[in-house]
Amino acid sequence: MDYRARSSVALFCAALMLQSCGGGGGGSASGSGGATQSSGVYYSLPGSVPLNSSVPTPSYPAGSFALGYFDTLNQIRGLVGVGLLAQNTSLDVASQHHADYTSMNYDPATMNGVIDPTTGLLYAHSEDVGKPLFYAPTPQQRDTLAGYQNTTSEVGVPTYSNDSYGGISGVQEQMNTVYHRAAILSDQPRFIGIGSNSTSTASPSYGWSFEDTGMVLNPATLPAGAMAFYPTPNGTMKAPFWETSWEQPSPLPSVPTTQHLGGGISVQVGGFDSIAVTTFTLTDASGNNVPVYQENPATDSSGYLPGNIAFIIPQAPLNLATSYTARFVGTDNGTTISRTWTFNTPPNILTVTTPGPYILHNGGTINIQTEAPSGYVGYNWSSSVPTSDFTVAMDGDMGFNLSLAAGSVTAPTPLQITLSDPYYPSVTTMITVTLEP
């Protein structure tokens, strides 16, 4: 039975349709959604509250979506150098309320890029009085109602599951974007709240999760002349493949949504600073120029890109197991800055991270997790057992739960599963699951 097409469709229509917006709080925050803008949204003067080099151990349950999200995001933020985020239970409450509301009231006709006229925000971030599980209309109002006393921001992503794999995937999906990466790598917030609900009334295969971040009065940001990069120098890029349809709104509206691209490479300066690009290029290991699109404050047509970050987006997927070199020359508040750094793309293999042997009993479920180069996995299987005896559900972007109906087998029976990367189809591997009574 082939589930490769099914998994690919789910990725395009569900997990990759991200939404994000500033939470409000004065200034010139965009009323139509998009990622948080860095000027006019938060307090405008840097001050004495340093970046977090460490944070208290969170209270999120082991194996939960929230803990997977929290740990993954802070690991990336630590590597990039923009400071860690500490758990805030008031933001947890607000995020969970909105995750529950959105999963209950999800409407595919409005959730992807449509503005709610009652709030002026995307429906993904709005709540309307009278609908089930209503808490408060806007992200800032929800955070304030829950008890957070400063300016906040919100991003959201559909989710397949409430476990840690869902949380890990939620961060990785947002890192493989432009506006959302800029939001979750901002050096201005100090706190985070996370909520998730994997059950949707309109689309049972996924629900929604939200991250609310909290600001403090007078946060310190990256010092003048300091630069933060993703992928990190000498690191491995987690997203060598991308399409503009994976983010709402599209950061490259003139590029066809079906065009296969490479993941973005970004440079950012302090959150209160302005970056300008003189040249921003990419070359492969042989020194050949890689054609890229420029996305920076001077080229952005949406108004959602913060003024302190610049991207290049390869015009075709990057090759696997390859070294690339990015070169940036520009200015930080008018002062010349430059940097050349090298990063790698993932190896040309698909690894099954769930240890074997793989045994699935009648009435049971087995979880299979992988590491795929693009960050997504497809799968198909063959067995003498009728396909009607199996059910499958995605668990994160690189895993799935396979369930076997009670009474399906009376003796050990092999099930051959071929796993593949839907965006690098030559990358495959096979495992055998033994079906047992």
Mean pLDDT of 278-299: 97
- How many domains does one find in the chain? 3
Question: Does 234 lie in the same domain as 201?
Answer: no
- CA dihedral sign of residues 155, 161, 162, 165: negative
82 lies in the same domain as 210? yes
Considering 109-118, 154-163, 260-269, the range whose residues carry the highest mean pLDDT is 260-269
**In a shared domain, residues 124 and 202:** yes
**Choice between 307 and 109, residue whose per-residue pLDDT is larger:** 307
Indicate whether 222 belongs to any domain: no
Q: How confident is the model at residue 20 (pLDDT cuts 50, 70, 90)?
A: very low
| Domain boundary pick from 214, 242, 258 | 214
3-class state of residue 166 by DSSP = helix
pLDDT of 418 over the 50 cut: yes
- Average pLDDT of the segment spanning 268-297: 97
pLDDT at 149 over 60: yes
Examine the domain organization and report whether 356 and 427 are in the same domain.
yes
Give the per-residue pLDDT at 19: 41
pTM: 0.89
Shared domain check, 411 and 337: no
**Same domain assignment for residues 255 and 357:** no
CATH number at residue 30: 3.40.33.10
Percent above pLDDT 90 for the chain: 77
Q: Tell me the C-alpha distance between 134 and 101, whole Å.
A: 6
* pLDDT higher than threshold 80 for residue 36: no
Task: Give pLDDT, residue 301.
Answer: 86
Give the CA distances from residue 25 to residues 33, 129, 186, 285, in Å, rounded to whole numbers and listed in that order.
14, 21, 16, 46
Residue 18: is its pLDDT beyond 80? no
Residues 83 and 153 both lie in one domain: yes
Judge whether 23 and 292 are in contact, CB under 8 Å.
no
Ranges 34-43, 46-55, 226-235, 413-422: which has the least confidence:
34-43
Pair 336, 356 in one domain: no
Residue 368 lies in a domain: yes
**CATH number of the domain bearing residue 257:** 2.60.40.1220
The reply to whether 177 and 37 lie within a common domain is: yes
105 and 202 assigned to the same domain: yes
Give the end of a domain, one of 344, 372, 404.
Answer: 344
Q: Is the domain of 360 the same as that of 335? A: no
**Given 327, 344, 361, which residue is the final one in a domain?**
344
pLDDT tens digits, 118-146:
999 989 999 999 999 999 999 999 999 99
What's the pLDDT at 47? 55
C-alpha angle 189-217-95 in degrees, rounded to nearest 5: 40
Does residue 53 form part of some domain? Answer: yes
The confidence band for 6, taking pLDDT boundaries of 50, 70 and 90, is very low
Q: How far is CA 234 from the centre of its chain?
A: 22
Long-range contact pairs involving 338-344 (C-beta distance under 8 Å, separation at least 24): 339/227, 339/229, 339/267, 341/229, 341/233, 341/234, 342/233, 342/234, 343/231, 343/232, 343/233, 343/234, 343/235, 343/236, 343/237, 343/265, 344/234, 344/235, 344/236, 344/237
Distances (CA, A) of 356 to 172, 353, 369, 411, 434: 26, 9, 11, 20, 11
* 43 found inside a domain: yes
Q: Is the pLDDT of residue 21 over 90?
A: no
263 pLDDT band (50/70/90 cuts)?
very high
Considering the domain boundaries, does residue 312 fall inside one? yes
Same domain membership, residue 151 and residue 9: yes
Reading the block at residue 328, the tokens are: 């940036």
- More confident of the two residues 36 and 159: 159
Domain holding 62, by residue range, is: 4-214
Mean pLDDT in residue range 88-109 = 94
Tell me the per-residue pLDDT of 352-371, one tens digit each, with 9 for 90 and over: 999 999 999 999 999 999 99
